[in-house]
Each structure stands twice: as structure tokens, then as C-alpha cells.
Amino acid sequence: MKILHLSDIHMGSGFSHGKINPATQRNTRLDDFVNALSICIDKAIAESVDLVLFGGDAFPDSTPPPYVQEAFANQFNRLAKENIPTVLLIGNHDQHSHGQGGASLSIYRTLAGDKFIVGDSLNTHSITTKSGQVQVTTLPWLNRSNLLTRPQTEGLSLSEINELLLKTLKPALEGEIRKLNPDNPCIFLAHAMVDRAVYGAEKFLAMTNRGFQIPLVFFTRPEYDYVALGHVHCHQNLNPSNDPPVVYPGSIERVDFSEEKEDKGYVIIDIEQKNGARTVQWSFEVLPTRRFQTIKVDLTKSKDPLGDLVNAIKAHNIQDAIVRLIYEIRLEQSDQITAKFLDNLLKEAHHYSIKPDLMNHKSIQRLPELGVGSHITPLDALEKYINSQEEYKDIAKDILEAAQSLLS
């Protein structure tokens, strides 16, 4: 049995790093995400896989614009036409703002008959494939509103709430495990923060009650042949002993510069059954995604700032890349470097941003005091600070939502 596992598509993300394609009149970054997904679907069809597992977070939020939904649907509909069953798991970005449902994926319940299964609850699905039956336990993104009532959490600290969440989740998982038929392959598909994972921007959710970390031991159960995870954008296997593999495939395209050095891709799983025993082999397949390139240059001691800046840029391949140029320079040197000069140097890039840092005259935005008599809330002050920091631009919404959750 062959299975393709992908996750965290986030179609519609990263538009600030793109431009309008004159041929399609849509953002080129949407084209990038569609291309990455198309390669995944091409592989599933070419390899004639038995099942596709999607680990959640189809879009940046639960109400993407229609043209983005259409781009997503066009690709997954290709699987239905090939009679390849697909499990679509609900991630945190697929839920409504109050943490319920899966607005962006719920419609797939009514499409293509039984070829799409929407995993919006903890449940075990028995799926018929051309190579036989396979069982998939789905665990969508959970927070306290999914498992607990308000009276249960009244007066509890965040750590106490998380402990109660885990106590509630554990017997529920045990109940699903008891349903499994050991004669058929068993997969655990979850959108979750596992405590051994290496996080990127997802770490902000780990600090709030919008999400909670689940111990790895919840997933390393011998009853499962493979654990397919979603949510963390960096590919990693949390259980190197592979008994079972506990794998984040990561996102299929770079969302921001925090993922600059990460390979993006998907996972192919082969499950073989001989003489009553099953073996699992899996491999991570790298996708040819658009490159992100940061160029940092210190020109403060340079006798030839223009020449050194040109050499620094030429040392990198910026052709069709998304480039971030950060250079430090003395105030008296700054007039030598003009916008027109930089535009010409970076014209081969797909998109670029420039951040000069004047060492002799740094402009530091002063945030208002938050003491007695203050006329600004802590949340407003945080928003002002985030908006003044270029590196937080792509994850500003997640940071503010996390802060709001902590303050509520």
C-alpha cells in the first residue's frame, strides 16, 4: 500500500512577497503555491497511490477568497477523478476564529462521493483502497473549547487547563485505539503541537490556550504503523526508531523568511504485509520551491560602500528569488546609495525588500508608557511594536491573536 502525506499548504499566503502576474492577473505567490501542490498531486497520480493524507491548514484562515479556494479545489479534484481517496484534516487555520468547525474544508463532505473524508473530530475511519482496507484515526486541531466546558476551566491557571486537557484527551485516544483492527494498516493523522518538535512561528501558539502541546508518548503507539502530523512547517521525524515513524512533512512552500533554509516537500509511505507482519518504509521528497535569500552587509568600515555592496549581492544567486537586503551603513555614507542604484542591482530578483540600518543615527520608535494614566492598552502597544519590526510582518496576526488569548 502506497500513501502520500502532505500538510500545511497555506494557499493564499505570502502575497507581500509576490507581484501581479500580467497573464493571470493574480499574485505570483499564489502561482508558486499552486505549482508546489500540483507537483504533489502529479506524484500521487503517477505513483498510483492508494491514499492521500492532508495534515491540515489549507489556507491562511477559514474564509479564503473564492479564487484561492478554486485553485485549491482544482488540484484535489484531480485525485477524485483518479479514484484516489483523500483525508482532509482540519488545522488551526481552517477553523473559525472561535476554534470550532472547518469552514474552508467542510464543503468537501458533499463532493466526489466517498473520495473525500473531512477529519473534523477525533474519529477512526475505515477506508477502502485499491490495495485493501486502511484505518485512519483523525485528530484535528484541538484547544480547550473543543474538549472542555467553561465551568470546567473556571479559576484554573493555564498550566492546570493544559493538564486537564491532556487528561481528557488520553482516554479518548485509548477509545479509538481499541476500535482498530490489527489485521489492516493503521494510520494516526493529527494536526498538533508535539512536545519534541522544533517549532518556527508555531511557538507563539504554544504559549497560549489557543493550543497545547501533546506529549510524544501519546503518538508512539505500536498499534499504529505510521503517524502523519501537520502544523509544524519544518520537516522532521520525532521518533527516529520508526516504531512507528512520527513525521511532520512540513509546509509545501516557504511562507516567510523564517523558513528560508528549510527544504519543503511531502512524504511517500510504503506499507507491505507479508506472512502476517507489516513493514513501513517512508521517504521525504523535496519540492522545487522558490528560494528566499537574505543578504546582510556591514558597510560601516568600508572605504568603498558601493563596490562592497555590489560584490556582496553578486556573491548570491538572486535570479527569481525573494530577496531581503539588510545593510549597515554610516550616516555620512548613506547618500552614496540611492534607491535607483539598488533597484538596478536587485532587478533579477522575483521580489526584494531593502532595510538600511544607519549606525550613527538609528531611528528608534518610542512606545508609550504603560503605567498609571496611560491611554494605550498593552495589546495596542504590542501592535505598534510589531508593526515597527519588519521581521514580524508575516506572523503579526498570529502574535496578536496569541497575546489577545493570554490577556483574555
CB 118 within 8 A of CB 140: no
- Cα 157 from Cα 165, distance rounded (Å): 12
pLDDT in tens, 143-178: 666 666 667 767 777 778 778 888 889 999 999 999
pLDDT, position 400: 81
Pairing label, strands 51-54, 213-214: unpaired
Q: For residue 363, is pLDDT > 60?
A: no
Q: What is the DSSP string of 158-171?
A: HHHHHHHHHHHHHH
- Cα 290 from Cα 93, distance rounded (Å): 23
Find where cell 501542490 sits.
37
- CA angle 192/182/277 to nearest 5° reads 105
Task: Enter the C-alpha cell of residue 406.
Answer: 493570554
pLDDT, position 333: 81
* Helix, coil or strand: residue 51: strand
Task: Enter the C-alpha cell of residue 55.
Answer: 495534515
- Cα 357 from Cα 57, distance rounded (Å): 36
pLDDT, position 350: 96
Q: What is the mean pLDDT of residues 201-213?
A: 57
- Cα 183 from Cα 195, distance rounded (Å): 31
Phi and psi, residue 271, nearest 5°: -115, 120
Q: State the virtual CA torsion across 234, 10, 127, 96 in degrees, nearest 10.
A: 120
**Among 24, 268, 284, 314, which Cα is nearest to 32's?**
24
pLDDT, position 361: 45
CB 224 within 8 A of CB 187: yes
Q: How confident is the model at residue 364 (pLDDT cuts 50, 70, 90)?
A: very low
Task: Enter the C-alpha cell of residue 382.
Answer: 504590542
**Among 217, 246, 218, 244, which Cα is nearest to 232's?**
246
Phi-psi region of 91 (alpha: psi -120 to 50; beta: other; left: phi over 0): beta
- Cα 250 from Cα 235, distance rounded (Å): 4
- Among 60-69, 192-201, 261-270, 308-317, which stretch is predicted with the lowest mean pLDDT? 192-201
Q: How confident is the model at residue 209 (pLDDT cuts 50, 70, 90)?
A: very low
Find where cell 482532509 sits.
88
* Helix, coil or strand: residue 6: strand
Pick the CATH number of 2-286 from 3.30.160.270, 3.40.630.10, 3.30.1740.10, 3.60.21.10: 3.60.21.10
Q: Which amino acid is at 16?
A: S
Phi and psi, residue 365, nearest 5°: -70, 125
Look up the pTM and report it. 0.84
| Burial (CB count within 10 angstroms: exposed 0-12, middle 13-18, buried 19+), residue 319 | exposed
Q: What is the mean pLDDT of residues 367-394?
A: 67
Q: For residue 368, is pLDDT > 80?
A: no
Q: Which amino acid is at 333?
A: Q
- Cα 260 from Cα 255, distance rounded (Å): 9
- Cα 28 from Cα 73, distance rounded (Å): 18
Task: Return the domain boundaries, the chain.
Answer: 2-286, 292-407
pLDDT in tens, 37-46: 999 999 999 9
pLDDT, position 149: 65
Task: Enter the C-alpha cell of residue 393.
Answer: 510582518
pLDDT in tens, 378-391: 777 788 788 777 66
**Among 407, 397, 408, 406, which Cα is nearest to 92's?**
397
Helix residue ranges, H only, 139-216: 144-147, 150-153, 158-178, 203-206
pLDDT in tens, 89-101: 999 888 765 545 5
